[in-house]
Structure 1
């Protein structure tokens, strides 16, 4: 495996170029030590920043003391996080799958430590209805390369070419030796991207470095590097809304389609577009066991999350309109 030492941190850049006051950089990570909120979420790197922002602006008005409702813990940071005042010191989940597993563990053991999981993929197992994937925004995934690389000549790859790159059947492009990268195991972006290019984990070639933290352009440190990248994350990073990790990367087209519109916003018609979700226990949004905080935060177009369209789009995502908050999609993991 072509595993290299990858730079992990980007620089925090200045105010966003979008000219809206709400676009100051998001809270950097977890709630302050000793600060516990009604709803706790973990998981996806892709949506951690926008959930941090929503956690900062959504207040708790459901009979609890005034304050913030949602606590969102970043995918990376200290090895463990403390999500409640006692009994809830857990290993920090990094990625959609890890977040969903943490939620499932909290349900199974009735710990109350986790209330929702951030996910940039849909359910992998549809055989049960134990969990509900509630969409709140639209994203897309394309590939990034270095702007100073020979790969960057208005990069436009087909799905077949991407499949060949990640199975190591295609080893050069524009006379540059390719060094393909994938996000770390458990990443929803990794799962989604492999599905879109039509290969399984078992088919990923030995030339691929599959250990890179997702959406970190600084990890592309050689000419042939190519990696999947959330378009929403790229927009937020380059606009200074979040910590800028894009480095010198640029986004490529797929099947001649650009991932961004001419005004720089997300192209919701990009071939590899996806919904992003907050995953909750189905029992907590239905019937006598429903939790008013979870329902109020996530379910329906008038939910507290769906009402924050300006914040969601400020972080590079597309609006779902009336599809926001629909609890119909269910599964197990």
Structure 2
């Protein structure tokens, strides 16, 4: 299958691609069945998997003549099978076959896209979902980070936590360096959790609090945005605000992994605004960020990719349904990085 051939999209990526952002019953899992191959495949970030899955699979999100969907967004965790194939290469071939562990997280998704490019552009992967921008240490223009929504990251603790509900950036740096923080009453020991290697949220969090590498005392093997990992009163972990909001909405196929976790303030700022059904992320929170679909720069103007990226921005209702904020710079194509950036 020549996925670069726009003729095989099924007429065209129509004006309805990825929808008008109207989800009556959001659906946000792998394409069903596992052989529901589509023109474009996305892997990577756990943070954005549900919103991208919703954009790809939602009941009212259809494309092309006959309602054909063209984006397959594969879960970072869970999903319908492991390993899985993103494109219909011969059944006996391992080309375009991946395991969840190998594509879990922003960095792993970007790495697999980079391998795809290095191997001659087999187009097994078209988008790498990413909750972080490019690494400054890997300059270049091979990849373009296309923003589509706004997220924020704060720390979460359990309901009966002994960790303060408001910490400073300096206190968080101490926690993720030596597992202690200092306040007016003295120095206190805590047990910080950190997402698994390859997580974009992990890198964003450490960069935001000014920590180059976590201390040896930090448990850095937990799955991101899984509040059930917090099992003790002295534990805390970084959490996507959009994910936390979406997990509590009862959206079909978005598992509620919050457990007894609660989002906390940083520098006195609340990560959320509103309450109840109007709860939303605070777009000006101290640790707020754009989230991206990463694409091979040379493919940006391919008809299917260009149309899909553009129409994602029109799906503002869907983006907000999954807890994210809309952004003025949606679909900007100016942020670049090298392979594995």
Pairwise same-fold verdict (TM > 0.5)? yes
Q: Is the 8 A contact 2:154 2:264 kept in 1?
A: yes
The 3-state SS of whatever aligns with 2:147 is strand
Q: What is the alpha-carbon distance in structure 2 between the residues aligned to residue 330 and residue 162 of structure 1?
A: 30
Query: Which residue does the alignment assign to 1:271?
Result: 286
Q: 1:163 is matched with which residue?
A: 173
Quick one: distance in 1 between partners of 2:66 and 2:84?
Answer: 24
Give the 3 Å change call, closer, same or farther, for CA 205–230 of structure 1 in structure 2: same
Secondary structure of residue in 1 paired with 2:110: helix
- Answering whether residue 98 of structure 2 is matched by residue 90 of structure 1, we say yes
Tell whether the 8 Å contact from 1:176 to 1:223 is kept in structure 2 after alignment.
Answer: no
Q: Select which of 202, 206, 228 maps to 1:190.
A: 202
> How far off is 1:50 after superposition?
0.3
Q: Does 1:291 align with 2:297?
A: no
- Alignment partner of 1:315 is 2:322: yes
Aligned 8 A contact 2:180 2:189 in 1: no
Q: Would you say the 8 A contact 1:79–1:91 is kept in 2?
A: yes
Match in the other structure for 1:14: none
- Change beyond 3 A, Cα 1:169–1:85: closer
> In the TM superposition, what is the alpha-carbon distance from 1:176 to its structure 2 partner?
6.8
Report if the CA contact (8 A) 2:156-2:236 is conserved.
Answer: yes
For the 8 Å contact 1:150–1:176, the answer to whether it is kept is no
Q: Distance in 1 between matches of 2:55 and 2:269?
A: 31
Q: Deviations over 1:214-273 (max 9, x none)?
A: 000001011111000000000001122221000000011000000001332110010000
Q: Pick from 257, 272, 283: which aligns with 1:245?
A: 257
Written as runs of structure 1 = structure 2, the 5 A alignment for 1:13-28 is 22=23, 24-28=25-29
Q: Is the 8 A contact 2:41 2:73 kept in 1?
A: yes
Cα distance, 1:121 vs structure 2: 0.1
By how many angstroms is 1:169 displaced?
A: 5.4
Deviation at 1:66, TM superposition (A): 4.3
Identify the match of residue 227 of structure 1 among 231, 237, 243: 237
What is residue 132 of structure 2 aligned with on the other side? 121
Contact 1:31–1:71, Cα closer than 8 Å, also in 2: no
The TM-score with structure 1 as length reference comes to 0.85
Structure 1 match to 2:336: 330
For the residue of structure 2 that corresponds to 1:27, the secondary structure is coil
Deviations 1:171-201 (A, max 9, x none): 6888974110000001000000000000112
Match of 1:80 among 80, 83, 86: 83
Q: Do structure 1's residue 130 and structure 2's residue 142 form an aligned pair?
A: yes
TM-score by length of 2: 0.83
Quickly say closer, same or farther: Cα 1:135–1:21, change in 2 above 3 A. closer
Structure 1 residue 89, shift from structure 2 partner: 1.4
Q: Is the 8 A contact 1:119 1:278 kept in 2?
A: yes
Q: Does the 8 Å CA contact 1:172/1:178 hold for their aligned counterparts?
A: no
44-53 or 69-78, which deviates more: 69-78
Matches of 2:70 and 2:32, distance apart in 1: 11
Over 3 Å counting, the alpha-carbon distance change for 1:31 and 1:100 in structure 2 is: farther
Q: 1:97·1:188 contact (CA, 8 Å) conserved in 2?
A: yes
Distance 1:56 1:170, change over 3 A: same
How far apart, in 2, do the equivalents of 1:259 and 1:107 lie?
38
d(CA) in 2 for partners of 1:134, 1:293:
15
Q: 1:213 aligns with which of 223, 232, 246?
A: 223
CA distance in structure 2 between the partners assigned to 1:26 and 1:225 by the alignment: 33
